[in-house]
């Protein structure tokens, strides 16, 4: 089975759990996801089946949109509600909305993030959460990210607990940790903070309205109606300009030949043959392009 499945990952499951479940449903090993979601997070998780696993990395480069809640006044070792609390400073009064918006605006644009200790980032061959669980010291790598927008939605203050909740929407680049964004918002305001809830609204060019849940997927496979839920490999490469090639040029492309594309202004182009993208070609010099990624077997969705 070939195609991209926009899955709705439910809270409580890991991204790997979703892949394993789909492999079992379709009896196929060639399945992969395009970006890990923490177990407590729900929302859009594009899954690649069959030959579309070749475009996982291209799906991951697309931006992501999230909605969620941040709690001001508490901090945890995991930067969310899943971990042990490490700080609690009840607020005597809530922050004013304008101050919150100013702090959020300061966290937009190009930023440098330090990934949470409880994350899947690898350092010297071991994931950060493994260091954390073993109590081993490790220097976490800085990583550049881009926050396109970090928008305030609404807030609530609990006088009994002294905690303030902020609802937000954020559009971010690949590699951004929203948990860390929540903690950094607290730093901007001078108080502990953590992420209380998170839903990924879009990823890989898919929105939450296009997703299907695991039980619905299983039913569709059983009923032979899964094709209507799958997207072709070309969807992941929709940002690249397309060039339809002739049968003669197709023969050269199949052999990895360089091509002369006079007048082409883009650095990378998608070559299509018989209405399907067969390769991405990258400029080598002047009008000469060389192979970047090959999808020679791409023939659209194959149930």
| 64-201 placed in CATH 3.40.630.10 | no
262 token code pair: 């006079």
Tell me the backbone φ, ψ of residue 24, rounded to 5 degrees: -70, -40
Q: What is the per-residue pLDDT for 294?
A: 96
The answer to whether the CB of 37 falls within 8 A of the CB of 43 is: yes
Q: What is the per-residue pLDDT for 121?
A: 85
With a cut of 70, list the residues of the chain below it in pLDDT: 303
- Classify domain 3-62+204-232 by CATH number: 3.30.2350.10
Q: Which fold has domain 240-294?
A: 2.30.130
In angstroms, the CA 278 to CA 206 distance is 22
In angstroms, the CA 248 to CA 177 distance is 47
Query: In the annotation, is 38 catalytic?
Result: yes
What residue spans define the domains of the chain?
3-62+204-232, 64-201, 240-294
| HEC per residue, the chain | CEEEEEEEECCCCCHHHHHHHHHHHHCCCCEEECCCCCCCCEEEEEEEEHHHHHHHHHHHCCCEEEEEEEEECEEECCCECCCCEEEECCCCCCCCHHHHHHHHHCCCEEEEECCCCCCCCEECCEEHHHHHHHCCCCCCCCEEEEEEEEEEEEEEEECCCCEEEEEEEEEECCCCCHHHHHHHHHHHHCCCEEEEEEEEEEECCEEHHHCECHHHHHHHHHCCCHHHHCECHHHHHCCCCEEECCHHHHHHHHCCCCEECCCCCCCEEEEEECCEEEEEEEEEECCEEEEEEECCCCCCCEC
The string of pLDDT tens digits covering residues 127-183 is: 888 998 998 989 998 999 999 999 999 999 999 999 999 999 999 999 899 999 999
CA distances from 20 to 17, 26, 286 (A): 5, 10, 46
Q: What is the per-residue pLDDT for 299?
A: 86
In angstroms, the CA 75 to CA 207 distance is 31
In angstroms, the CA 279 to CA 249 distance is 12
The single residue of 38, 80, 184, 234 carrying the catalytic annotation is 38
* DSSP H helical ranges for the chain: 15-26, 56-60, 97-105, 128-134, 178-189, 214-222, 247-254
Same fold, 64-201 and 240-294: no
Q: What is the per-residue pLDDT for 303?
A: 66
């Amino acid at each position: 089975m070939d195609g991209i499945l926009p899955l709705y990952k439910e809270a409580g499951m890991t991204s790997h759990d979703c892949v394993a479940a789909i492999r079992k449903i379709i009896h196929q090993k060639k399945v992969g996801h395009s970006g890990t979601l923490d177990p407590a997070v729900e929302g859009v998780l594009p899954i690649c089946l069959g030959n579309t696993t070749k475009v996982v990395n291209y799906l991951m480069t697309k931006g992501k949109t999230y909605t969620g809640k941040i709690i001001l006044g508490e901090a945890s070792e995991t930067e969310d509600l899943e971990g042990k609390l490490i700080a609690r400073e009840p607020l005597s009064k809530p922050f004013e909305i304008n101050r919150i918006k100013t702090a959020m605006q300061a966290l937009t644009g190009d930023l440098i993030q330090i990934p949470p200790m409880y994350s899947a980032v690898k350092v010297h061959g071991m994931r950060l959460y493994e260091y954390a669980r073993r109590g081993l010291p490790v220097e976490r790598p800085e990583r550049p990210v881009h926050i396109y927008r970090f928008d305030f939605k609404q807030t609530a203050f609990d006088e009994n607990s002294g905690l303030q909740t902020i609802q937000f929407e954020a559009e971010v680049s690949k590699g951004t940790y929203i948990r860390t964004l929540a903690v950094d918002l607290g730093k901007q305001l001078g108080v502990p903070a953590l992420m209380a809830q998170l839903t990924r609204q879009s990823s890989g060019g898919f929105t939450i309205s296009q997703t299907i849940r695991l039980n619905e997927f299983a039913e569709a496979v059983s009923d032979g109606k899964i094709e209507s839920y799958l997207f072709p490999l070309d969807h992941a490469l929709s940002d690249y300009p397309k060039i339809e090639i002739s049968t003669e040029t197709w023969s050269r492309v199949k052999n990895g030949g360089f091509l002369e594309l006079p007048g082409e202004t883009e650095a990378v182009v998608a070559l299509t043959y018989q209405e399907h993208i067969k390769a991405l070609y990258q400029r080598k010099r002047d009008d000469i392009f060389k192979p970047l990624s090959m999808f020679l077997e791409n023939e659209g969705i194959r149930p």
